[in-house]
Amino acid sequence: MKKYAFSIAALTVALLVPLTALAQPGGGAMQPLMKSQILIAVNRAELSIEQLQSLQGIVQSTVDAQAAIAQAQATLQTFLINWTGSQEDFEVALEAERQKVQDAVAALHTLKVQNTETIKDSLTASQFDALERVLRGVMGSEQNNAPAGRGGPGGGNGPNNNDNRGPDGNNRGPNGPDRGRINQRGAGGFGGNLEVLLEVLTEKIEAIG
């Protein structure tokens, strides 16, 4: 009986640790930004009320997606602790519970890719420069790791450079003419504290409104 309990405990660690790492940008530990640092970055970006509201929605949806992963992981752990059935039934039930966690992780990944596109379309290049470190926690790592240079998503010399222009004709966001150096930085570094960022955005919207 003790041997069976140990196996479940070991399996819990093996399952949860890699999935938790997947849920974090860059797959590693992140250093949180202080509220004052986030406020400085937001003020330097000179965001409009519409841009603040857009970012607020992005951060809130990302926080919710991360909470869904945490809930799925907690449900999996509870399942493992409470299981008393046969090994054959266990494998079937385990796969179903693992799939819930994997689906939640995939949903967060998809959301971050969408967030990157939204941010690219709504911020100017200078605004993105000011907010890049703050926004890494809501952006897809593929964008940050994109190769620079001609034709690449991070380059400004490709034939489709005009696709990076917003409705006003200005070059915008991570794919602007000087985005190569930003993309080469990777997804590591400061991941930020999304709850604090959400608090800052909410307070700024209330102050401006």
**107-152 pLDDT, tens per residue?**
999 999 999 999 999 999 999 999 999 999 999 865 443 323 323 3
What number is the average pLDDT over the span 87-115?
96
Terminus-to-terminus CA distance in the chain, angstroms?
Answer: 62
Residue of 186, 156, 5, 136 lying closest to 80 (CA atoms): 5
Does the predicted model carry a pTM greater than 0.75? no
Number of Cα atoms under 13 Å in the Cβ half of residue 149: 2
Distance, in Å, from the CA atom of 128 to the CA atom of 126, rounded to the nearest integer, reads 5
Q: Are 137 and 192 in contact (CB under 8 A)?
A: yes
Instruction: Band the pLDDT of 207: cuts 50, 70, 90.
Output: very high
Do 183 and 148 form a contact (C-beta atoms < 8 A)? yes
**Span 26-75, pLDDT tens digits:** 444 444 568 999 999 999 999 999 999 999 999 999 999 999 999 999 99
Residue 144: other Cβ atoms inside 10 A: 22
Q: Which two tokens stand for residue 196?
A: 């604090």
Q: Residue 50: which residues within 8 A CB-CB, separation 6 or more?
A: none
CA 86 – CA 206 distance, rounded (Å): 56
If DSSP codes are grouped into helix, strand and coil, which group holds residue 63?
helix
